[in-house]
Amino acid sequence: MKRDRYLQKINQLLRVHPAVALLGPRQCGKTTLAQMYAEDFQSSKRFDLENPEDLLFLENPMLSLADIEGLIIIDEIQRRPDLFPVLRVLIDRHKENQKFLILGSATRDLIKQSSETLAGRLAYIEVTPFSYWETKEAKKLWVRGGYPLSYLAETDLDAFNWLQFYITSFLERDIPSLGFNVPAFTLRRFWMMLVHYHGNFFNVSEIATSLNVSMAAIRHYIDILVGTFMIRQLQPWTENIKKRQVKTPKIYFRDSGIFHYLLGIRGTEDLLYHPKLGASWEGFALEEIIRYHEADPEDCYFWAIHSQAELDLLIIKNGKRLGFEIKYTDAPKITKSMHTALETLHLDSLSVIFPGSKAIPLSDKITAIGLEPYLSGAVRSP
């Protein structure tokens, strides 16, 4: 599948930066994307830091990389963060002859040296698993998730068998490779517990008591899963009002396929009769809306007044405040909570997202619209 939007973004950023980092979860398609981009270069060289031969070649990186011209791709950079200072020297010496495409399976907060060492030289792109704008097939994407080998599997059973392998490999191999000394069994128990908090407030004390660990350990575990793109921690927005607002973050699984696998769902029928159906739809739609708007985590919030009003998603970007309520229903209606959110937050628009195929104006600033029409641009944001 040609991922044109990412290819255009890489090209745009490499015109003004000597290095671009593609950051995203393992197996989301970063390597394939880098290889696609390299096809337009006369000269390119890729180094995979999971390949013993490439690791041996880079034992003396200054000598090994200095004479290579064109595009240099370094895959799984989180395994050798000590390369960043070397890359800074090479970039400053060979600005005209070398471009770097760096691939990593953790956020820049986890790969700490990248932001510190290459400040002003390195641009970042978050690469996600497949999204609706790439597949145009919401139902299959919702059930299986967007990881290419899950989404493209011949059957749902094949997809979930792959997800089983992926989760085991992530816990037993990928987490230790990032330097985290957390037993796979402990992190799996924590991850399984998060299934029941998906779309809800992240109660650190409650989870710590259930797992019989400290609250500091729970915060460490969630940082790992957020930093490896498994979990989204949606922060609360607070407005300057006298009412008591919620200040505890919410959590969502970023990939619906992984969420479904951990729930024991193995196909469409299982999902449609599962008590977590609505929560699953909310998380899937929320993630797709954020990707559609290309919103950074710092642009995205939820908002709530205790026992009075709430808003599932608030995106603040380009001077606009866009509000979203996500409802798994075939007949969305205006509620008092929506009016409160619209007025209190001074929203430019409020979209009620539901699994339909139409756009239904509910008021001047509130529109009910199906997820697919919204993601297809049927209603333009102000």
Question: pLDDT at residue 2 above 90?
Answer: no
Strand-by-strand arrangement of the 19-23 sheet: 44-48, 70-75, 98-104, 19-23, 122-126
pLDDT value at position 65?
92
Q: In this structure, what are the phi and psi dihedrals at residue 93, rounded to the nearest 5 degrees?
A: -85, -30
Strand-by-strand arrangement of the 359-361 sheet: 200-201, 250-253, 231-236, 300-305, 309-317, 320-326, 349-354, 366-370, 359-361
Does residue 99 share a domain with residue 77? yes
The b-or-e profile of 310-330 (16+ CB within 10 A means b, else e) is: bbbbbbeeeeebbbbbbbeee
Question: pLDDT at residue 368 above 90?
Answer: yes
pLDDT value at position 120?
83
Does residue 333 share a domain with residue 237? yes
Q: Encoding tokens for residue 119?
A: 């400040």
How many structural domains is the chain composed of? 2
pLDDT value at position 379?
64
Query: How far is the C-alpha of 3 from the C-alpha of 291, rounded, in Å?
Result: 14
**Is residue 96 in some structural domain?**
yes
Residues 346-366, mean pLDDT to the nearest whole number: 93
Does residue 223 share a domain with residue 358? yes
Q: Quick one: pLDDT band at residue 312, thresholds 50, 70, 90?
A: very high
Q: Specify the pTM.
A: 0.94
Does residue 164 share a domain with residue 22? no
Question: pLDDT at residue 278 above 90?
Answer: yes
Does residue 342 share a domain with residue 280? yes
pLDDT value at position 272?
94
Query: How far is the C-alpha of 246 from the C-alpha of 200, rounded, in Å?
Result: 12
**Is residue 262 in some structural domain?**
yes
Quickly list DSSP for 139-172. Answer: HHHHHH-S-HHHHTSSSHHHHHHHHHHHHHHIII
pLDDT digits (tens, 9 = 90+) for 152-201: 999 999 999 999 999 999 999 989 888 888 889 999 999 999 999 999 99
Residues 218-234, mean pLDDT to the nearest whole number: 96
Classify residue 152 as exposed, middle or buried by CB count within 10 Å of its CB (0-12, 13-18, 19+).
middle
Does residue 136 share a domain with residue 122? no
**Is residue 27 in some structural domain?**
yes
Question: pLDDT at residue 60 above 80?
Answer: yes
Which range of residues forms the domain containing residue 297? 132-375
Question: pLDDT at residue 350 above 60?
Answer: yes
Last residue of a domain, one of 92, 126, 160: 126
Does residue 266 share a domain with residue 173? yes
pLDDT value at position 107?
87
Does residue 304 share a domain with residue 350? yes
Place of tokens 């970063």: 30
Q: Encoding tokens for residue 347?
A: 């929203």
Does residue 248 share a domain with residue 157? yes
Question: pLDDT at residue 220 above 90?
Answer: yes
**Is residue 381 in some structural domain?**
no
**Is residue 34 in some structural domain?**
yes
pLDDT digits (tens, 9 = 90+) for 98-122: 899 999 998 887 777 666 778 888 9
Question: pLDDT at residue 382 above 60?
Answer: no
Strand partners, 236: 302
The secondary structure element, H or E, covering residue 336 is helix 336-344
Query: How far is the C-alpha of 135 from the C-alpha of 144, rounded, in Å?
Result: 12
State the greatest distance between any 2 C-alpha atoms of the chain, in Å, as a whole number.
66
Mean pLDDT score of the chain: 93
Q: What is the CATH number of the domain that holds 46?
A: 3.40.50.300
Last residue of a domain, one of 126, 157, 179: 126
Does residue 335 share a domain with residue 235? yes
Question: pLDDT at residue 96 above 80?
Answer: no
**DSSP class of 174:** I
Strand partners, 204: none
Report the percent of the chain where pLDDT is more than 70.
Answer: 97
Residues 281-293, mean pLDDT to the nearest whole number: 97
Question: pLDDT at residue 381 above 60?
Answer: no
Does residue 322 share a domain with residue 194? yes
Query: How far is the C-alpha of 42 from the C-alpha of 159, rounded, in Å?
Result: 37
pLDDT digits (tens, 9 = 90+) for 76-95: 998 888 899 999 999 888 76
CA distances from 143 to 34, 138, 139, 237, 377 (A): 27, 9, 6, 30, 23
Question: pLDDT at residue 133 above 90?
Answer: yes
**Is residue 380 in some structural domain?**
no
Q: Encoding tokens for residue 326?
A: 């996500």
Residue closest to 71 by CA, chosen among 22, 111, 139, 28: 22
CA distances from 152 to 89, 130, 137, 248 (A): 41, 10, 12, 37
Report the percent of the chain where pLDDT is more than 90.
Answer: 81
pLDDT digits (tens, 9 = 90+) for 16-44: 999 999 999 999 999 999 999 999 888 89
Residue 157 neighbours by CB distance under 10 Å: 11
Contact 337/350 with Cβ under 8 angstroms?
Answer: no
- Higher local confidence (pLDDT), 147 or 358: 147
**Is residue 40 in some structural domain?**
yes
Place of tokens 């890729």: 46
**Is residue 382 in some structural domain?**
no
The secondary structure element, H or E, covering residue 217 is helix 215-227
Q: Encoding tokens for residue 69?
A: 């011209």
Last residue of a domain, one of 126, 148, 175: 126
Does residue 348 share a domain with residue 245? yes
Query: How far is the C-alpha of 86 from the C-alpha of 19, rounded, in Å?
Result: 13
Place of tokens 């792109």: 125
